[in-house]
């Protein structure tokens, strides 16, 4: 077991140990459009992932720092913290997150911590 895997396991354990703080979410990943020559229809395949996510607000300094990096973060946006082991794919602006209350968020950006253990997903309520 390498150091990266140790950090990934630790992040997953930490998130799940917060009790009722993490929310169970459904992450919907939208694939590439597929055209069916027979039916002459276009479809966009969806893949759903269910896992725990911690929601937290951006601080003013994080908003300013993100702005300097080219990310357009609003004070009403939310960060979603998820263990990399729970979401192996790279978040995409086409994707959506639905929380346990039925609130839907679009993906407006993301970062991965240096240990590749935690994804910090920038969310905007739809």
More confident residue, 9 or 19: 9
Q: Where are the domains of the chain?
A: 3-125
Q: In the 8-state DSSP scheme, what is residue 90? A: P
Give φ, ψ of 60 to 5 degrees: -60, -40
Q: Is CATH 2.40.10.270 correct for 3-125?
A: yes
Distance CA 35, CA 45 (A): 11
Tell me the pLDDT tens digit for each residue of 65-116.
877 677 789 999 999 999 999 998 999 999 999 999 999 999 999 999 998 9
The angle subtended at Cα 78 by Cα 110 and Cα 115, nearest 5°, is: 40
Q: Model-level pTM?
A: 0.80
């Amino acid at each position: 077991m390498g150091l990266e895997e140790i950090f990934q396991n630790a992040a997953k354990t930490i998130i799940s140990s917060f009790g009722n703080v993490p929310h169970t979410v459904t992450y919907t990943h939208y694939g590439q459009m597929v055209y069916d020559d027979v039916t002459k229809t276009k479809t966009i395949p969806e893949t759903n992932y269910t896992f725990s996510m911690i929601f937290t607000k951006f601080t003013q300094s994080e908003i300013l720092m993100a702005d300097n990096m080219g990310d357009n973060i609003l004070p009403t946006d939310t960060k979603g913290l998820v263990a990399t082991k729970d979401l192996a794919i790279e978040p995409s602006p086409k994707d959506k997150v639905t929380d346990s209350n039925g609130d839907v968020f679009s993906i407006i950006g993301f970062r991965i911590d240096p240990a590749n253990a935690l994804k910090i997903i920038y969310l905007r309520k739809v």
